[in-house]
Copies of this chain bind each other. A is one copy, B any other.
């Protein structure tokens, strides 16, 4: 995994202190064309909607949800929201219906115009209407005269046809209602694919009636019934979102073997637990394919989407190496290595999947020239492999750079473009094979309680990358719009902001959690795979997710604005008194925080591990304040003092309790600035 360096990242994060974005509408994702008009349309209790042209259930239900959301956003019940065409404030018009199958590449465009007196939303089909209604909702703001939508003409369509989010209920089960609210979030930012990673070593999460031991023995009792799935698919479809199932084989498949050990390459009994070398299907035996044939038949019917994801990643060949029968098979079939054997498996699997009228999707590793060109490759390894696939004639979607579980800041995901690097050199036919991308939220450290906070608002930055024109790149604008969107998402029922309060209270066991909140606001979970690397012994996939690292947001807003303030102060050559005062207030709060927080930390077994962080935050506050004093007095600090501060700051930059103190770098900048100025 290529990691963007810290320096690059800081540049990304601080560049917006310099950059100035033009006045623009608070929309995420940014539409492809916006023309501002004069005046605004007031949204009053008399606001009403009419639908002309084509209509169907999706459209009608979408309009009713829109009306409910207008009420929710404004706190107003509308007097008579549904009216005849001539009387409507907002007239909605779709030309024709959606394609009957859930197909990739349907027209999702729309045109929305608002004037001082009314508004009109037109689209070729209900999908565009759904997107346009989301845009309209985002345009509503409270102002001095009331709620209103600015006069505007928006012509909008997506840049990529595949804008997905992978959720992994295999590692930690995610209840249906949590999926539903996240589908609402996806719809709000115009994403259109929910990719469910339904099976892995730690759990098999969907009911098979044909092979009930899959979910019964392969889970802790938590799985989606077929009724749940039908409900979910309909729920998503109503919001313009396809649901693509993934059953990850031949590796990542231990949960299958608990009930059906005969599928494994290594004989024995299995229980659900994380990976290990022995969890690969046996691709050399007929019964594996007979099983898969029946299984795919059942699931292909349950999931109407045209795509069927078979995983295919991270196959550890050991069990194949160690099984003489498999070795003999490879020899007799001229399969030179394990990659050949996996390709053999995938060819058979692809025939099964095609037979049930589905297009097979797999991770990078499935890509082999011997597979038919209609399969789709999902790249977690990098943009290069996606470009290579496109050159070879395969369609692909990018997930490299979009792994939300790595706890990157939104700006870092935002900078990843499916068409950059090698892809930018592709010809237009090849480029057309790059369908889009998918944000991935792997579930190892996820619970229903913190899922939303790991998804939102960062997923919206990826949604914008995949929807908006390539030149939409202003990070400062992105962050400012994300903040507003974040509030709107809580109106939809997402809990990415509100989750933290009860989690902190659980840890603290006391009523006043304000000092803990101060610490929580400036820490972030460690990045990339550092949390796994810090695990001593085996990863305990049933471990409680009730630590500060589980509650802390992936990206600290406080740290980002502090970084900006320090930047601004330094650039002003220490003259900006406003910035100085704000910096001083924050540093003082941090310096004094440990005194308040310490008794709470000492009295909680869940919080004791963060005592060093709390101490360091106080020390760092003190260092920053001393540096500020030097800077204010225009008196250079002595080198030994600086050296001591910097050594403390370096210690403070080390992860503790799987958390990082995020304000070390700007404080260091202040300390370093005391050298001379």
* Residues of A that sit less than 8 Å from B by CB: 45, 72-77, 79, 141-146, 220, 447, 449, 483-484, 487, 490-491, 497-498, 501-503, 505-509, 511, 542, 544-546, 550, 602-606, 608
Contacts and interface: CB of A to CB of B under 8 A. Distances in A.
Nearest to A480: B511
Nearest to A142: B509
Contacts of A142: 506-509, 604-606
A507 B73 CA distance: 10
A146 B603 CA distance: 10
A28 to B, nearest CB: 13
A583 B126 CA distance: 59
Contacts of A605: 142-146
B45 A506 contact: no
The residue in A483, A490, A498, A502 that gathers the most chain B C-beta atoms within 10 A of its C-beta is A502
B511 A77 contact: no
A645 B511 CA distance: 35
A546 B220 CA distance: 44
Contacts of A483: 511
A595 to B, nearest CB: 13
A205 to B, nearest CB: 15
Nearest to A484: B511
B509 A76 contact: no
A146 B564 CA distance: 40
A487 B507 contact: no
A449 B75 contact: yes
A35 to B, nearest CB: 23
A560 to B, nearest CB: 13
B498 A511 contact: no
A447 B502 contact: no
Contacts of A508: 142
Contacts of A487: 502, 505, 511
Contacts of A45: 542, 544
Given A487-B511, A490-B502, A501-B498, A75 B550 contact: yes
Contacts of A72: 449
A220 B71 CA distance: 14
Copies in the complex: 2
A75 B542 CA distance: 11
A40 to B, nearest CB: 13
Given A490-B502, A491-B506, 5 more contacts: A142-B509, A142-B606, A144-B602, A145-B605, A484-B511
Nearest to A505: B487
B76 A544 contact: yes
The residue in A72, A144, A145, A501 that gathers the most chain B C-beta atoms within 10 A of its C-beta is A144
Which 6 pairs from chain A and chain B are nearest by CB? Answer: A75-B546, A76-B544, A142-B509, A498-B498, A483-B511, A487-B505
B506 A75 contact: yes
Nearest to A551: B75
Contacts of A544: 45, 74-77
A490 B500 CA distance: 12
A46 B401 CA distance: 39
A45 B541 CA distance: 13
Contacts of A603: 143-144
19 contacts: A45-B544, A74-B546, A75-B449, A75-B506, A75-B544, A75-B545, A77-B542, A79-B542, A142-B508, A142-B604, A143-B509, A144-B604, A145-B605, A484-B511, A487-B511, A490-B502, A491-B502, A498-B498, A498-B501
A483 B501 CA distance: 14
Contact of A608 (B73, B144, B505, B507): B144
A550 B74 CA distance: 13
A613 B76 CA distance: 24
B484 A490 contact: no
Contacts of A497: 501
Contacts of A146: 605
A69 to B, nearest CB: 12
A546 B604 contact: no
A369 to B, nearest CB: 45
A608 B508 CA distance: 38
A557 to B, nearest CB: 9
Contact of A74 (B74, B144, B145, B506): B506
The residue in A142, A449, A508, A604 that gathers the most chain B C-beta atoms within 10 A of its C-beta is A142
Nearest to A561: B512
B509 A75 contact: no
The residue in A79, A501, A544 that gathers the most chain B C-beta atoms within 10 A of its C-beta is A544
A605 B505 CA distance: 35
A608 B146 CA distance: 11
Contacts of A511: 483-484, 487
Contacts of A608: 144
Contacts of A143: 509, 603-605
A603 B148 CA distance: 13
A286 to B, nearest CB: 38
